[in-house]
Amino acid sequence: MDYLLQLAASPTAWIALATLVVMEIVLGIDNLIFISILTNKLPAQHRAKARRIGIGMALILRLGLLSTIAFIVQLTEPVIEILGQAFSWKDMILIAGGLFLLWKATTEIHHSMDPAPDDPKTATSGVTLGFAAAIGQILMLDLVFSIDSIITAVGMTEHLPIMIIAVVVSVLVMLLAAEPLAKFINDNPTVVMLALGFLIMIGMTLIAEGFGAHVPKGYIYAAMAFSAAIEVLNMLSRRAKERALANNA
C-alpha cells in the first residue's frame, strides 16, 4: 500500500504513466485496424461480438503477459543462429506475425479485386466457420502485438502498477474506438484498400524487426498519417462532385 502511495505522489511516475498510455494506444492502432477489417467480413449481427471478443482477448493476453514479465524479458535473448544471424523467440514471433499479416492483407486485396461468388449451399456453415476463423486470426495477431506492447512497457518503466494501468487504459480506448473505426471502414470501401496497404507495411516492419533491422515507429506512423490525409482529400473531392451532380440534376 505504501508503495502505491509513493507512486501516486511521484511526478515522475505520472509522467511515465502518461507517456506509456500514449505509446500503448499508438501500438494498439495496428491491432485495431486488423480487427476492424477482419470483423467487417462477418455477417452484421456477429461483428460487434467478434470485436468485443477480440479486444477482450487482447486485454487478457496483455495482463497475463504482465504477470510473467521475467519470462517475457527473456524472450529477447538469442536462442538460435542461422547463417550468422541470431534470433530470439521475440524475433521469431515478430517474423511469423509479419508473414501472417502479409498473407492476410494480400489475400484480402486479391478477394477485393476478384471476389468469388457466394455459394448458397455453404452459406450457413460459412457463417460459423467464418466467425471461428476470425476469432482465431484475431487471437494470433493479439499475441504478436501484445508481446511487442509488453516489451515496450518493460523498457519504459520498472513499475508494474504503471504498466497495468497503461495497458488497461489503452485497451479501453481500443474498445471505444473499435465501433466507429469499423463503421467508417465499412462505409468507405476505398479506405479498406488503404488499410490493407497499412497492414502490408506493418507486416514488412515486423519482419524487418525480427531480422534485427530496427525501423523507427515514427516513420511508419508518419507514412500512415500522410496516406490517410490524401485519402481524406479524395473522399472530400468525391463528395463535392456528387453534390455538384445532384445540384445539376
Q: What are the cell numbers at 40?
A: 467487417
What pLDDT does 122 receive?
A: 40
Residue 3 lies in a domain: no
- Above 70 in pLDDT, residue 126? no
Residue 2 domain flag: no
Alpha-carbon distance of 235 to 248, in angstroms, equals 20
Cell of 192: 479498406
pLDDT at position 127 = 43
What are the pLDDT digits (tens) for 21-37?
A: 777 777 777 778 888 88
0.85 cut: is pTM over it? no
Same domain, 222 and 129: no
pLDDT value at position 3?
58
Same domain (yes/no): 110, 166: yes
pLDDT digits (tens, 9 = 90+) for 99-108: 888 888 888 7
Q: What is the pLDDT of residues 50-95, one digit of tens each?
A: 888 888 888 888 888 777 766 766 777 888 888 888 888 888 888 8
Question: Is the pLDDT assigned to residue 211 strictly greater than 80?
Answer: yes
How many structural domains does the chain have? Answer: 2
pLDDT at 214: 82
Whether 186 and 143 share a structural domain:
yes
Domain match, 16 and 76 both: yes
pLDDT single digits (tens) 234-247? 888 888 888 888 88
Query: pLDDT tens digits, residue range 109-118?
Result: 887 777 655 5
Same domain, 201 and 224: no
Average pLDDT of 6-34? 75
Statement to judge: residues 94 and 111 lie in one domain: yes
Beta bridge partners of 118: none
1 in a structural domain = no
Do residues 209 and 224 both lie within one domain? no
Do residues 178 and 230 both lie within one domain?
A: no
Cα–Cα distances in angstroms (integers) from residue 126 to residues 83, 113, 140, in the given order: 44, 21, 21
Domain-located, residue 65: yes
Q: How far apart are CA 188 and CA 228, in angstroms?
A: 12
Instruction: Render pLDDT for 137-196 as a digit per residue (tens, 0 to 9).
Output: 888 888 877 777 777 776 666 677 778 888 888 888 888 888 888 888 777 777 778 888
Considering the domain architecture, whether residues 157 and 224 belong to the same structural domain is answered as no
Q: Are residues 43 and 150 in the same domain?
A: yes
Q: Is the pLDDT of residue 124 over 70?
A: no
Same domain, 187 and 112: yes
Question: 178: domain range?
Answer: 9-116+125-213
Angle between helices 189-210 and 160-187 (to 10 degrees): 140
222 and 112 inside one domain: no
136 lies in a domain? yes
In a domain, 25, yes or no: yes
More confident: 136 or 160: 136
Q: What is the pLDDT of residue 117?
A: 54
Please tell me the distance from the alpha carbon of residue 174 to that of residue 127, in angstroms, as a whole number: 25
- Residue 86 belongs to a domain: yes
Query: Is residue 63 in a domain?
Result: yes
pLDDT at 73: 66
